[in-house]
Structure 1
Amino acid sequence: MDTRKLIEAYHLAWTSGDFATARNCLADDLDCRGSMDTFTKADDFIAALTQFRQMVQSVELLQYFYDKTGAALLYEIAIRPLPRGVIRTAEFFTVTGDRISAIRLVFNATALRQAMQA
């Protein structure tokens, strides 16, 4: 699978709640670093993503960039119940073979913590 198809499949899967497909896009030893957490196993990351998805009202993809070994997505996540807020997120991917091997998530952690407490 080419990089663009892999990243699009992953993004569509997690945003629609299809975590089996999302997990299948990830390398077992995924290196994921975000503004709040770090994961070194895909299964641990998917467990956290599954919990987070319960808060998500919608995801709007704003911009994207793909090349042979990576990608970058910029999107906004509306947190439920509205109007808890919108979290703008940049997600950077590294692809090795036919799996996502690394993810870097950049977002305003303070805004997310506030939305989680509301």
Structure 2
Amino acid sequence: MSTREVVRGYHDARYRGDVAAAVARVSAESFSFRSPFVTSADPAGHLAGLEGFLRVVAEVELISELYGESEATLVYDVHTATPAGVQRTAEHFRLRDGKICTIMLIFDAAPWQPMAAAIR
């Protein structure tokens, strides 16, 4: 699979709540995930709060996709039914042997601080 197929497959699966399909695109051997709220080396563990988060997501609007041979960056808006409203998000991926080995999720976490416990 191409970098685009792997990364978009992960992204699309995650936002439709299909954890198994998202995890299938992640390296089981060496993985790291970092966001303002979660740091994880577990290919499935970083998606542990996904169900709660998706309950407040109304739409995901992809703004930009940039793909290289072994890395990708997605920029998108997450439209939520929360006081946070629309969350501009950037996500950088590194791939090794056709699987995602690193994800860095970047967004302004300040609007989410008061809601974090309720979403989990």
**TM, length-normalised to structure 2:** 0.87
Runs of 4+ with deviation above 4 angstroms: 114-117
Q: Of Structure 1 and Structure 2, which has the larger fraction of its residues in helix? A: 1
Residues 85, 115 of structure 1: 8 Å contact kept: no
Unaligned 5+ residue runs, structure 2? none
* Structure 1 match to 2:62: 61
CA distance in structure 2 between the partners assigned to 1:3 and 1:50 by the alignment: 26
Residue 114 of structure 1: how far off its partner (Å): 4.4
Q: Does 1:22 align with 2:32?
A: no
CA RMSD across the alignment = 1.7
C-alpha deviations, 1:51-97, integer Å up to 9, x for none? Answer: 3222211110001100000000000101125x651111000000011
Unaligned 5+ residue runs, structure 1? none
One-letter code of the match for 2:20? A
* Structure 2 match to 1:113: 113
CA distance in structure 2 between the partners assigned to 1:23 and 1:50 by the alignment: 15
* Structure 2 match to 1:7: 7
One-letter code of the match for 2:85? G
One-letter code of the match for 2:45? D
CA distance in structure 1 between the partners assigned to 2:113 and 2:21 by the alignment: 28
**TM, length-normalised to structure 1:** 0.88
Residues 84, 115 of structure 1: 8 Å contact kept: no
Check 1:51–1:60 CA distance in 2 against 1; reply closer, same or farther (3 A cut). same
CA distance in structure 2 between the partners assigned to 1:76 and 1:50 by the alignment: 18
